[in-house]
Amino acid sequence: MSGCPFLGRKHQLFTSKPGQTEEEDESQTGINKAAKGGIVYGDYLQLDKVLNAQVLQSQEKGNKIHDEHLFIVTHQAYELWFKQILWELDSVRQLFIKKHVRDERNMLKVVSRIHRITMIFKLLVEQFAVLETMTALDFFDFREYLSSASGFQSLQFRLLESKIGVPDHLRVPYNRRHYKDSFHGQESATLLSTEQEPTLLQLVEQWLERTPGLEQDGFNFWGKLQANIEGGFKMEKHKLEKMEDSEEKQELLADLNKQTEIFTALFDPKRHEHLLSKGERRLSYKALQGALMINFYREEPRFQVPFQLLTSLMEIDMLMTKWRYNHVCMVHRMIGSKAGTGGSSGYHYLRSTVSDRYKVFVDLFNLATFLVPRSWMPKLNPNVHKFPYMAECYDSSYNSYSSEDSD
Amino acid sequence: MSGCPFLGRKHQLFTSKPGQTEEEDESQTGINKAAKGGIVYGDYLQLDKVLNAQVLQSQEKGNKIHDEHLFIVTHQAYELWFKQILWELDSVRQLFIKKHVRDERNMLKVVSRIHRITMIFKLLVEQFAVLETMTALDFFDFREYLSSASGFQSLQFRLLESKIGVPDHLRVPYNRRHYKDSFHGQESATLLSTEQEPTLLQLVEQWLERTPGLEQDGFNFWGKLQANIEGGFKMEKHKLEKMEDSEEKQELLADLNKQTEIFTALFDPKRHEHLLSKGERRLSYKALQGALMINFYREEPRFQVPFQLLTSLMEIDMLMTKWRYNHVCMVHRMIGSKAGTGGSSGYHYLRSTVSDRYKVFVDLFNLATFLVPRSWMPKLNPNVHKFPYMAECYDSSYNSYSSEDSD
Amino acid sequence: MSGCPFLGRKHQLFTSKPGQTEEEDESQTGINKAAKGGIVYGDYLQLDKVLNAQVLQSQEKGNKIHDEHLFIVTHQAYELWFKQILWELDSVRQLFIKKHVRDERNMLKVVSRIHRITMIFKLLVEQFAVLETMTALDFFDFREYLSSASGFQSLQFRLLESKIGVPDHLRVPYNRRHYKDSFHGQESATLLSTEQEPTLLQLVEQWLERTPGLEQDGFNFWGKLQANIEGGFKMEKHKLEKMEDSEEKQELLADLNKQTEIFTALFDPKRHEHLLSKGERRLSYKALQGALMINFYREEPRFQVPFQLLTSLMEIDMLMTKWRYNHVCMVHRMIGSKAGTGGSSGYHYLRSTVSDRYKVFVDLFNLATFLVPRSWMPKLNPNVHKFPYMAECYDSSYNSYSSEDSD
Amino acid sequence: MSGCPFLGRKHQLFTSKPGQTEEEDESQTGINKAAKGGIVYGDYLQLDKVLNAQVLQSQEKGNKIHDEHLFIVTHQAYELWFKQILWELDSVRQLFIKKHVRDERNMLKVVSRIHRITMIFKLLVEQFAVLETMTALDFFDFREYLSSASGFQSLQFRLLESKIGVPDHLRVPYNRRHYKDSFHGQESATLLSTEQEPTLLQLVEQWLERTPGLEQDGFNFWGKLQANIEGGFKMEKHKLEKMEDSEEKQELLADLNKQTEIFTALFDPKRHEHLLSKGERRLSYKALQGALMINFYREEPRFQVPFQLLTSLMEIDMLMTKWRYNHVCMVHRMIGSKAGTGGSSGYHYLRSTVSDRYKVFVDLFNLATFLVPRSWMPKLNPNVHKFPYMAECYDSSYNSYSSEDSD
């Protein structure tokens, strides 16, 4: 009877919930009956709203410019997808906040939703190809009608940045004004209250700090690692020193010294604090240790999905930065590199945001600097090192399906 | 002052129109003043509508399912882009209807907008990757709430098919019912009135029939081509017959006969009528000739952009068909291949629409069957064959910029 | 000193292996020394081979056609990537064959490599866009020189199909000849020996059959599920029968009967054998049960990565089928739908391979037919059901890093 | 008989060339006969070379690392496509050099091939997604074996940059060394001789300088434009001065002054020379005028395809810069931001190449700064202004098809 198989394989069966009495079920049947005549595609998607939201300012001013429609639809599509990203991001943050992630059953959800965000960002990067079918000349024909409307005013994009964890003090000011000055009233309030919430970065940090194996009185990953690495370098140095003198020997020694320095710095907590204060690191020292541990032992069953999560978080950073860069390219094409009327050049402002300052998970990228040969990694015996992490979830009373998605 | 460089380089200058008196200009300045405090990003894009149109049926029924949000947003994004495609399609049809395309100045617009449609379709094909992050199990959790809502009920998609030129009688019925039965009231009226309008196929057909060079008393492309091809085949046959007898000779002769048959059929108008009646051809005989002519002489300055247009029309067909195929794949993944509750299988229905029956410009694809060596093509001397086509636009009083985009 | 940071961060450190004596290390240093003056980019990539493999047949025959170069390079790029896919596929099969997958530490590798295959296929689908810049006319200019060379003769593509598990008897014959007739000598031998090896499908099947929880004397998933579903349907029926008579009641009852039938068939092993014999199912009955179990309990830590694997396997099927479909579209564009000279139409042959017959993991798609409400699923208590699956890997002596990647 | 429809619709017909005697034809038949048994797929593509060029250094050194294969194949695919880009680029440059582009029939070829280059670059940007399936840890396992091999040593990429027109003196040095220092022997010679050839930028520049309508004693586009713009600004200023004093008035006046300055600079040839010397402009003053003219009159039939060309040239710049940026992102992920062993950080070097310095057609982007309302553009009457440009091609003796593709 129904119609398209995807939307709307009618499915009145299976409606009873466990514990429902039969009386309740009958009312349920009534609902199904209503549903049947029920909601249709256009109403379900509220297309009366979505498809009647394209008002061309050029047309309002009596000079309809064809391409303004594309401009509007593209930006609306961006905003729709931003909403979806926020939806996923909020649910993931909720899962972390409610400590659900201590129940490892939720890890699949977390990693799947973060992965979904990356897929949306990929689409958003590709979406520029559509807007790029508009030439600078086409844009010029209506840009006067946009007056002061500005993508700088996209609330959702700012929320997105905030919730992921772009820190306020690292943002590039635009025309010497803070981005929040563009928002007023309810929007401004929303921004402020969002800032009070834990960011994805902070939640991931806390989660990383709990990585099983970091305990100094337990597996003591960090201590063991430091010992192994220091030992390793000593052995390397010893070998090199026994070489005959040569230019190569000098070079290799110099290299070794540089490497040694890098790792000496890694094991120095004060150095970490210093980098934190400059914004070059973002994670706490302990969280950094957890991230490195997950990287090294990623093949352990308990670390496989966590490792996927770290990888996806880096992808979000990469894709946001690619989105920014594509944005810059389009702006260059649309208005050139010269200043707007208002002062400093928008092109140059945007360009400055394509920067590591805006990479939230920059520490995860920089872990690549601290890799060592597998033989230097502390040995892990899974029979001995029963991680509390996993045990924990089994101790809790079992209720994963009843509380499904209570985010 | 302004804000983001893209949206909204404020641009109060350049507002005077030619012929405006200064008095009018002053009022204009007033408008600019209003504009300045003026419209902001969120209002311009009507985000209050667009971002408040996500109502989860599962949540309404007290059982919020996380992934329904993705389902809604994805479909809304599809509908937004369908609207944009219709916008471009209508403008192109308008340009053809108003005979503007006889003024070749409009060809750039036509070809750019058709190209834009292909870029949007590419995005829509890629967009499936986002919805595919939802598993069958995730979908199962809320599909009961969709009741009879059905993608089959997307008015815009039907309009799109109609306006391009999918013919009514070639559509695959679903559960023995015509697609129009799914629409009522205003939607039904819209569909019916659309059917009265000329389709893109018909407009392109008329345009192709005007291809300069087809005139029998002029260049007489078709007559000359037939003579050359018949001559060519005769010569080939002659050569083959002089070969010594061998298996190869027999094969080559058989091949030649087949090729000869194909071209004999091409030059037979009755054969064309027959194929038309079966739906295997869609263009009139004369339009087919025009299309072949544009293909053969595509490097002539006057045919370069028309050739690009034919190429883009094929791309639309290809991309729509890829979109359909991606849709089928997703449905298979979401609900399997079994029948829905309502009768015949949605999966199998959708699969049947991935068919050449739905390729509107199938004739352009099949032109590939009728290619011949360049040396067989009638010679064209541009110094002699001054085509009326190009001349025509210069005779009309010159007004291209004042009437810019009066579609 | 070195050069590009990606290729070639020179890295002479960290070369010692555990257990190496210092003497060995010295020779190692020697190697490093050699390496230093060492291999350069072009030699490393053997560019003398790769970049000197483009011989245009048209040029050989004295009539260089520009676009033949694109044709060659595109096909070479396809073959390069096919080689990479085979590389990944072989390594995954090896991991399964050596029972390494019983050591769950290898699951990350398996799932990552299968995921990589999907990423390559995505690229290959997109790659058609490049070849599509060639028009039918461009192709016509050189296709005579290709003589009998044929993509049908791509050994690697056939190996790929075979190794994944496209069964011989389900292949569509082309011109009444089997695909293997196109191969001779060494190629033919390679094909035959490949057929003796276990396919990915078979290996996944064996792995699914081992899914912990299927044991009849243990958790007995299948028995419990059948009981729950039968009970569920009975209850549904009971409810419906108490409704007042109405058209709707009749419809709902009819629907219920259909659903009941579907599940009755699911629990009938003979039905399964019948579908197997027709090629509509491919997995053993027990493997099917395992796959359904992983789907239902995908959030259990032990099933998260296995669930990802099943999802990626479906993606491979989807992408191969999309690749085939894109191929068909291009062929339509290049040569039309008419028969080639040799007999049956290549277009129609290729079209017939875009079919569920070529979907190796079709059972995983069709699982979507067998979903039931979460409340119907047998409850699983992880404290009680200690699955042997996971236990197993910890019992084995711990050697994951030493035997790293012995595939 | 043949096989796959795409590769290899056997096509022995149509082999005679105009002017061939029958005797020649017979030998031709002989060739066809040979061809028939003829070349097969694998030989045609020289797969013995292409598929035997993957030698893992890790394996050579006795420690096979699985992911090195991906690393090699990805880079080989890049090089294959670079070769194709060079093939297209050389043919386009040849068309310009031989003055063929004065025959407008070649414009379709030029614009199609430049478009093809953009499609290849899009693929190359997407191709990073495949390499990104390799993690930093996977890379770490074999990067020591790469010794000094370096992407910095890709000859083809350097040729590509050179031939498009990246100027030597604007390149960022790496470790204080010029990029050419990485090449020796034949490679070095190739680079040097390439530098003697005209770049795409120079050829486009010469072509733009010939834009019909620039002649001072003819249409005199530049003179007319300057007059119109100066008049326009004067009128705007007059209007503004009549406004009542207000903050807004002051702002508008300030804006107007800025705009006026921008255009005053545009019409100052000395300013242009100054910017040229700093590398901020790349085109000659006259070529810049031609580019602006094509932009303004892009809808004129003679300017439609030239306008498409300018658009595609910008796309090449954009895509190369996106390719560079994606490369940087991957490097960050693979080796972090720290310095390599050799000195300055590769990451930071690469980052510095994602810069407008490397945008060859930067002038075309910056044209967006110089747009004015359509009413300010000099009127063009095609009946009066018969451009020599188009006429020229008809005066030449007609031979487009005989000399087809003599590049």
D83 close to C (CB below 8 A): yes
**Residues with Cβ < 8 Å from A36, sequence gap 6 or more?**
A10, A12, B147, B148, C248
Is pLDDT larger for residue A345 or for residue D94?
D94
Q: For B385, which residue in chain D has the nearest alpha carbon?
A: D394
Hey, is the C-beta of C40 within 8 angstroms of any chain B C-beta? no
Q: Measured between CB atoms, does A384 come within 8 Å of chain D?
A: no
CB-closest option in C7, C35, C53 to D49 = C53
Considering only CA atoms, give the Rg of chain C.
Answer: 27
Who contacts D307 (Cβ-Cβ below 8 Å, separation ≥6)? B108, D294, D295, D298
Is residue B132 within 8 A of residue C312, CB to CB? The reply is: no
Mutation for D interface: A365, A374, A376, most D CBs within 10 A: A365
Q: Is B254 on the interface with A (CB under 8 A)?
A: no
- Percentage of chain B beyond pLDDT 70 is 78
Q: Would the CA dihedral through B313, B314, B319, B324 be positive or negative?
A: positive
Q: At residue D177, what are phi and psi to the nearest 5 degrees?
A: -120, 145
Is A70 an 8 Å CB contact of chain B? yes
**Site from C39, C148, C326 to mutate, D interface, most D CB atoms within 10 angstroms:** C148
Query: Is there a contact between C107 and A304 if contact means CB atoms under 8 Å apart?
Result: yes
Could you report the per-residue pLDDT of C257-279, keeping only the tens digit for each?
988 998 999 999 999 999 999 88
CB of C65 closer than 8 Å to CB of C141: yes
Q: Give the pLDDT of residue D30.
A: 32
Q: Contact D51/C120, CB-based, under 8 Å?
A: no
Q: Which chain C residues in 142-181 lie under 8 Å from chain D, judged by CB atoms?
A: 143-156, 174
Residue D386 has pLDDT above 80, yes or no: no
Chain D nearest C-alpha distance from C40 (Å): 4
For B338-393, write each residue's pLDDT tens digit: 644 333 467 777 777 777 778 899 999 999 989 888 889 998 765 555 443 333 33
Confidence of residue C150 (pLDDT cuts 50, 70, 90): low
Mutate to test the interface with C, among D147, D183, D331 (most CBs of C within 10 A): D147
- CB of C295 within 8 Å of a chain B CB? The answer is yes
Of A12, A105, A372, Cβ closest to residue C14: A372
Q: What distance in Å separates the CA atoms of residue C71 and residue C143, rounded to the nearest whole number?
A: 10
For A91-96, what is the mean pLDDT? 94
Search chain D and give the residue with CA nearest C70: D84
Task: Give how far Cα A2 sits from Cα of A12, B10, B69, B188, B331, Å.
Answer: 12, 51, 22, 18, 15
Higher pLDDT, C385 or C124: C124
Residue B253: pLDDT above 60? yes
Chains B–D, number of C-beta pairs less than 8 Å apart: 116
What average pLDDT does range C196-214 have in this prediction? 94
pLDDT, position D1: 28
pLDDT band of A184, cuts 50, 70, 90: confident
pLDDT at position A301 is 86
Are D80 and C51 an interchain contact pair (Cβ–Cβ within 8 Å)? yes
D152:C39 CB<8 A? no
User: Rounded to an integer, what distance in angstroms lies between the CA atom of residue D103 and that of residue D391?
Assistant: 10
To the nearest whole percent, how much of chain C has pLDDT over 90?
A: 52
pTM: 0.89
What integer is the mean pLDDT of C13-31?
36
Asked whether the beta carbons of B32 and B12 are under 8 A apart, the reply is yes
Higher-pLDDT residue of B290 and A346 is: B290
Task: Give the residue on C whose Cα is nearest the Cα of A401.
Answer: C374
Nearest chain B residue to A85 by CA: give it.
B70
Which residue in chain B has the smallest CA separation from A12?
A: B144
Q: Is the alpha carbon torsion for A273, A279, A282, A288 positive or negative?
A: negative
> Is D402 at the interface with chain B, CB within 8 A?
no
Q: Which of C61, C67, C47 is nearest to D87 (CA)?
A: C67
User: Which chain C residue is nearest to residue B375, measuring alpha carbons?
Assistant: C141
Does pLDDT of A132 surpass 90? yes
Q: What is the pLDDT of residue B301?
A: 86
The burial class, CB within 10 Å (0-12 / 13-18 / 19+), for A318 is: buried
Give the CA diameter of chain B: 92
Q: What is the mean pLDDT of chain A?
A: 81
Rounded mean pLDDT, C100-122: 89
List chain C residues with CB under 8 Å of B339. Answer: 258
Return the higher-pLDDT residue of D9 and B248: B248
Chain D environment of A311 (Cβ under 8 Å) = 135
Tell me the per-residue pLDDT of D110-160, one tens digit each, with 9 for 90 and over: 999 999 999 999 999 999 999 999 999 999 999 888 866 666 678 999 999
Question: Which tokens in the block code for residue C321?
Answer: 């089928």
Asked whether the beta carbons of residue B239 and residue D374 sit closer than 8 angstroms, the reply is no
pLDDT at B170: 75
Q: Do A8 and B87 touch (CB under 8 A)?
A: no
| pLDDT, position C91 | 97
Mean pLDDT, rounded, of chain B: 81
Q: Determine whether the interchain pair B304/D305 forms a contact, defined as Cβ–Cβ distance below 8 Å.
A: yes
**Is C19 at the interface with chain D, CB within 8 A?**
no
Contact in structure between B297 and B214 (CB atoms under 8 Å): no
| Cβ contact D302:D389 at 8 Å | yes
Judge whether A108 is closer than 8 Å to chain B, CB to CB.
no
* pLDDT of the residue at B23: 37
Chain C touched by D136 (CB under 8 Å): no
CB contact under 8 A, B135 and C337: no
Q: A62 vs chain B: nearest CA distance in angstroms?
A: 12
Least confident of A389-403, C111-125, D341-355: A389-403
Of B250-254, C401-405, D53-57, minimum mean pLDDT range: C401-405
Lowest mean pLDDT among A46-55, A77-86, B167-176, C16-25: C16-25
**ipTM field:** 0.86
Strand partners, D311: none
- Whether the per-residue pLDDT at B92 is higher than 90: the answer is yes
Q: Given CB atoms, is D249 within the 8 Å cutoff of chain B?
A: no
Q: pLDDT of D52-74, one tens digit each?
A: 999 999 999 999 999 999 999 99
**What's the mean pLDDT in B35-62?**
88
Q: Across the interface, which of C104, C232, C299 has its CB nearest the CB of A301?
A: C104
In a mutagenesis test of the A interface, which of B20, B25, B33, B45 is the best target, namely the one with the most A β-carbons within 10 Å?
B45
Distance from CA of D8 to the nearest CA of C (A): 5
pLDDT tens-digit series, residues B13-26: 443 343 433 333 33
Query: What proportion of chain A, given as a percentage, has pLDDT over 90?
Result: 53
The pair of structure tokens assigned to D326 is 């994606």
pLDDT bucket at D340, cuts 50 / 70 / 90: very low
End-to-end alpha-carbon separation of chain D, Å?
A: 35
Mean pLDDT of B101-122: 90
Q: Which residue has the higher pLDDT, D323 or B31?
A: D323
Chain C residue at shortest CA distance from B343: C255
Largest CA distance in chain C: 92
The answer to whether C375 contacts A18, with C-beta atoms less than 8 Å apart, is: yes
Cα A32 to Cα A13: distance, rounded to the nearest angstrom: 9
Cβ pair C236:A14 closer than 8 A:
yes
Interface chains of chain A (3 or more CB pairs under 8 Å): B, C, D
Rounded average pLDDT over A244-271? 91
pLDDT given for residue B388 in this prediction: 38
Q: Tell me if D301 and B107 make a contact (CB, 8 A cut-off).
A: yes
Does residue A341 belong to the interface with chain B, where contact is any CB pair within 8 Å?
yes
